Copies of this chain bind each other. A is one copy, B any other.
Amino acid sequence: MVTIKDIAQITGVSCTTVSNVINGKDHRVSAETIERINEAIQKLGYVPNMSARSLVSNSSKVIGFINHVVTKDDSNFMEDPFHSVFIGVLERVLRENGYYLMLRTVATAEELMAFLRNWNVDGLFFTGIFKDAFFDALAPLTIPIVLVDSYVSDTHICNIGLEDFKGSHMATSHLIEKGHRKIAFASPSFREGGVVHARFSGYQKALEDNHIPFDPSLILEAEMDFSSCQQLCDELIRIPELTALVVSADIMAANLMTCLREKGIAIPRDISVIGFDDISLSRVVTPPLTTIHQDMNLKGSMAVEMMLERLEGNTPKKSNITLPVQLIQRESVRTL
């Protein structure tokens, strides 16, 4: 292993100087020396040891992506394209800026703290954090934290979210324009500070704006997996005169559509469906799903941008970004 010492020795210079050159603090070093040092680095193939670096500097260049599991389940959080696509973007941009990405699942705040101190983690990404005890444990942390899809606000914690309310309002209004009046709302379970809440409000407001009375029996909750959707489907078909359905997540919509089809219910002939998210699947499902589009890649790059800004020590202009959504009309909605 070639160390900074070797470089120093070979170039006849001290460790400090080599270190300064490596770290771009070369304003105190002559151009000629810099040249010599860089050559030696090149020739010997020197690579800095991050452990040594972080040991002394209290900064590791490690950014954590935290998957917070509420219940100790063995489900694979990577099944959700939202996590994976997001992580893919993170990895790329962080790397381009000299950072490293560590994945970590934690159940408790203690586990998180241990992880942070294990590695001197420099920054943290979270998806789907809600207002609860766990979130409160984040407050005393001083490293930059970027939340995604969390309706929680805090001075030093960034959030990057979506026009959930607006999107849902658009979806519902679209159905109403197409002549639908009895419209159900299906979604994963509500959690305080989660996106579902905002999406539900959008649905509710759209009804109100169109003078359609709100009917609580049209609100359906279930998990997103296939078998939960089957149960939900049974409830659905028992609702009389239902003509349309707003689903607050495309994965769920896709599962639901499959269940409905298996029961001989045609979409959009018997029932119209509109989704939310526009994941890649939505285009490929039959019929292609009309949905509210969000730009996952943009979301990821905005999140990294906020993170990087904070890492550089600049307080960013905004600590709360809301990304736009867009209605994508495909074939799962019919005009009444």
Contact residues of A with B, CB < 8 Å? 1, 47-52, 54-55, 60, 67, 74, 76-79, 81, 83-89, 91-92, 95, 100-105, 113-114, 117-120, 226, 254-255, 257-258, 261, 280-281, 283-288, 297
Q: Is there an interface contact between B76 and A88, defined as CB atoms closer than 8 Å?
A: yes
A84 CB contacts on chain B under 8 angstroms: 78-79, 81, 83-84, 87
Chain B nearest CB: distance from A26 CB in Å?
21
Q: Which residue of B lies closest to A87 (CB)?
A: B78
8 Å CB contact of A95 from B104, B119, B297: B104
User: What residues on B are CB-neighbors of A86 within 8 Å?
Assistant: 78
Given known contacts A55-B52, A78-B85, is B297 in contact with A283 (CB within 8 Å)? Answer: no
Interface contact B51-A55, CB-CB below 8 Å: yes
Q: Are B100 and A100 in contact (CB under 8 A)?
A: no
Tell me what chain A mostly uses at the interface: helix, strand, loop, or mixed.
helix
User: Please, how many angstroms separate the alpha-carbon atoms of A86 and B95 in the complex?
Assistant: 21
Say whether A288 contacts B258, CB under 8 Å.
yes
Q: Residues of B contacting A297 with CB < 8 Å?
A: 76
Whether the Cβ atoms of A49 and B118 lie closer than 8 Å is yes
CA of A101 to CA of B47 in the docked complex: distance in angstroms?
A: 21
Partner of A284 from the list B52, B89, B105, B254 (CB cut-off 8 Å) is B254
A74, A88, A105, A258: which has the most chain B beta carbons within 10 Å? A88
Within 8 Å by CB of A55, from B49, B74, B79, B119, lies B49
Q: How far is the CA of A114 from the CA of B226 in the complex (A)?
A: 44
Min CB distance A288 to B, Å, is 7
Q: Which residue of B lies closest to A92 (CB)?
A: B105
CA distance A88 to B52 in the complex (A): 29
Task: Quote the shortest CB–CB distance from A236 to chain B (angstroms).
Answer: 17
Q: Give, as a whole number of angstroms, the nearest-CB distance from A47 to chain B.
A: 4
State how many angstroms separate the Cβ of A298 from the closest Cβ of chain B: 12
Q: Which 10 A-B pairs have the closest CB atoms?
A: A286-B286, A78-B88, A84-B84, A76-B88, A78-B84, A51-B51, A47-B117, A51-B55, A254-B284, A51-B54
